[in-house]
Structure 1
């Protein structure tokens, strides 16, 4: 077993251990798609209908923990059956039997998933073509193994917790008043210099590639990619950067937007997710039949990303405008918040908990006013709803979220 496979096995074993410890297997129904969640005004409870038509409930409260990176974006030419005779898949639906080894690989996209695929395809494949619509800024990851001394010290509980706290503090300072994403923010300015220096140093021998890899927007305006290996992979003789989108597939490959044909054995869609649509995989109906999708026509919004008016006892994990680092800190806060009113409901001290419309609207006006001052407004991205409203990002620090803004 190689080092990468060993790490994955250890991560899987850890997750399985947590699931067993808290008896989650007995409480979890796997391979089951939720179709709808519906509130009853009469019983003040929810019923859930799954893909097999089975009705579950009634439930006094529901927590949606589907996040928003759950619906792959598939280009029109790759939907359903295609004429392509090789392997084709989206990065989120990678099949165990797929291999890059010895193949002519085409990678569509240049985001976080794409750079990882390109790195491995350059090592294993015969050739790699990267189809780029627009470049992204790349930050060096500076990845390295812990030294034996560091590993020993990390096993010492006070040192471990100190280092964890230091990491959190770094995130907190970096995101104070959205300095990492605010126009003129000191962290944003520092990062801009760093990504430019990294690109200059990496592409010193290839000014042609440097021109193709230089974005026309500020760092953080779109999701910044972190990688030590992407730029070196692009310098390989096996890798070709195609600065065009793919327009169609053929039996033996693809045709790019300029009409050029490319022969491929494998197509990897690193095209991201439909991140602009929260809770897009099932319908939710609340008081008086309110439809959540209709209520969010202008873009998803919620009080602290957790609750939205007209949907009592309905809580969201990783809801609108709660994307910030470290993510687990936000998840823990959301879980604790949701548990408190649910406990009251279960014990009969309350029948329903709702987001008050006046507080919800005031909160979101303040949030959007702060977001309007960030670089996230510069260019369209998956941070935005179709209306242009920024719906995924948190505009303050993690501590500000924990303290209620």
Structure 2
């Protein structure tokens, strides 16, 4: 690649795509096309509009370090404010003009001859780029449960990530399947409206006090006039969340203390309904699934119009949900709070690297990438929020900033080298082996969760602290080699 201004295609205009574009533009690269299948920037925060949608990481830390927002309305910002923030950052850093909305990518193919990526769009057109940056995230494809009869239900049915706001829940009998991070936010909101709510729980989450707080005019004034105060709060939350991660991963006695805090919080809030606490107290080690924060979820479950059902769901019928044992629960509306297809990285787009190898085939035993970013046989490509870069307790934006800096340095190296570069296979393999070895003794192996594949391999989480990731995930030219034609074994 001799061109000093390479053409770059970024797939996705969420927080990862925006971060990558900003870093690249700061370095002087402006030939950037950001392809977004939705109608706006924002990614997961554009799509998830369910009642009560909000972040579970404090706003000062769930934001870019280079773009603090003194106007956050709450410590845990609601979805509309986070979406507005993403829009504002895209405007302020001149990213918006690079975004092509309603543009869906179906395939990306590396051309060995030209040393470029051919990006095929749903409408049949094609873009050619020197560099490809998939930034599609891990929470972009809603997952429906594998339950017989999903299509037979006669009433309205939808996933929480595709909330149907045309459905009036007032006075209705509603079934919610799933008790994850989204459900604990929307259940308290809809409980107030519905005649009856049947909540089908497979595994219970650990819940901590939310400790939310409103940021009023005085806070906004101080944050604006004295920016160091907001930076100090950001550092404080970073330290707290690193402590939580340390407790989960390395300090079992501290994890036991955290478990007692959660137990006290949940038991007190469940006391109004005899037998409720026993149903909702988890039976796996704390930290195995993401710890959730709420002050109103358990109180909502304690209301007379809510039943928590722990019997396994056998099938969905035209009139409701049937559990194992043949009990029918008749409902008017069915809502799935069942998360996302997190382990199917970069799907449903088909990626073909050198020699036409498909990424899905190379990842047949599970997704893996060097620091979650680059993959052997796929030169000039860097993934944002890729395999093993999720955090079990911190802010993903901290990771995204590290990755965006890596992408910038990678592109600079490509320009200087004047030829395609790909990560050395032996380094990528050694990194994956180290990562999986560390994860094999972690708390995340002790239950089934969205962090793991069906075979138990953990493809989502980073095995250490975010500070370790930032220290180690630094581009080094020696980690790369010129990309030959054909596939390297």
What is the TM-score of this pair, normalised by structure 1? 0.91
Select which of 90, 94, 109 maps to 2:159: 90
Return the alpha-carbon distance in structure 1 between the equivalents of residues 282 and 437 of structure 2. Answer: 26
Q: How do residues 120-199 of structure 1 correspond to structure 2 at under 5 angstroms? A: 120-146=189-215, 149-155=218-224, 156-175=226-245, 178-182=246-250, 184-199=251-266
Q: Matched residue of 2:263: which SS?
A: helix
Change (3 A) 1:262 1:52: same
For 1:12 and 1:373, the matched residues in 2 are separated by 37
Q: Partner residue of 1:60?
A: 130
Quote the Cα distance in structure 1 between the aligned partners of 2:81 and 2:272.
40
Instruction: Determine if contact 1:110/1:135 at 8 Å carries over to the other structure.
Output: yes
Contact 1:136 1:213 in 2 (8 A): yes
Residues 197 and 332 (structure 1), Cα distance of their counterparts in 2 relative to 1, 3 Å cut: same
In the alignment, does 2:268 pair up with 1:201?
yes
SS of the residue corresponding to residue 192 of structure 2 reads helix
Q: Deviations over 1:337-388 (max 9, x none)?
A: 001121343x453322211112112222222222122111112222112331
Q: 1:293 aligned to 2:360? A: yes
Distance in 1, matches of 2:79 and 2:139, equals 21
Query: Kindly tell me: are residues 329 and 245 of structure 1, through their superposed partners in 2, closer, same or farther at Cα, counting changes over 3 Å?
Result: same
TM alignment of 1:189-268, pairs within 5 A: 189-268=256-335
Runs of 4+ residues deviating >6 angstroms: 3-6
Q: Does the C-alpha gap of structure 1 residues 267 and 4 become closer, same or farther in structure 2, counting only changes over 3 Å?
A: closer
Query: After superposition, what is the alpha-carbon deviation per residue over 1:121-175, rounded to whole angstroms, capped at 9, x for unaligned?
Result: 1111121110112222212212232466544433321211111122222223433
Q: Deviations over 1:279-303 (max 9, x none)?
A: 1221111112221111111111111
Q: Report the CA distance between 1:315 and its aligned residue.
A: 0.6
* 8 A contact 2:149–2:315 mirrored in 1: no
Alpha-carbon distance in 1 for matches of 2:281, 2:384: 35
Distance apart, 1:10 and its partner CA = 4.3
Instruction: Determine if the alignment matches structure 1 residue 32 to structure 2 residue 103.
Output: yes
Moved more, 142-151 or 207-216: 142-151
Q: Which of residues 411, 414, 432 in structure 2 aligns to 1:364?
A: 432
Distance 1:10 1:208, change over 3 A: closer
Match of 2:31 in 1: none
Q: Provide the C-alpha distance between the structure 2 equivalents of 1:127 and 1:395, rounded to a whole number of angstroms.
A: 42
Q: 1:37 and 1:366, CA in 2 relative to 1: closer, same or farther beyond 3 A?
A: same
**Whole-angstrom CA distance in 2 between matches of 1:259 and 1:70:** 35
| 1:359 aligned counterpart, secondary structure | helix
Q: 1:212 to 1:302 in 2, by over 3 A?
A: same
- Counterpart in the other structure of 2:343: 276
CA distance in 1, matches of 2:80, 2:203: 35
Q: How many residues align?
A: 397
Aligned partners of 1:194, 1:4: CA distance in 2, in Å? 24
Partner Cα distance (2:221, 2:298) in 1: 33
- Alpha-carbon distance in structure 2 between the residues aligned to 1:397 and 1:368: 15
Q: 1:400 aligns with which of 435, 458, 468?
A: 468
Q: Does 1:99 align with 2:168?
A: yes
1:44 counterpart (103, 112, 115):
115
Structure-2 change in CA distance of 1:30 and 1:149 (3 Å): closer
Give the unaligned 5+ runs of structure 1. none
Query: Does the Cα contact within 8 Å between 1:299 and 1:386 map onto a contact in 2?
Result: no
Q: Which SS does the other structure have where 2:100 is aligned?
A: coil
Within 5 Å, which residues of 2 pair with 1:304-343? 304-324=371-391, 325-343=394-412
CA RMSD, aligned part only? 2.4
User: Counterpart in 1 of 2:89?
Assistant: 18
* Secondary structure, counterpart of 2:98 in structure 1: coil
When normalised by structure 2's length, the TM-score is 0.76
| Cα displacement (A) at 1:8 | 5.0
Structure 1 residue 260: Cα displacement: 1.5
Contact 1:276–1:386 (Cα < 8 Å) also in 2: no
Map Cα deviations across residues 224-249 of structure 1 (whole Å, 9 max, x no partner): 22211111001100111111243333
Question: Tell me, what secondary structure is at the counterpart of 1:312?
Answer: coil
Paired with 1:248 and 1:270, the residues of 2 have a C-alpha distance of 16
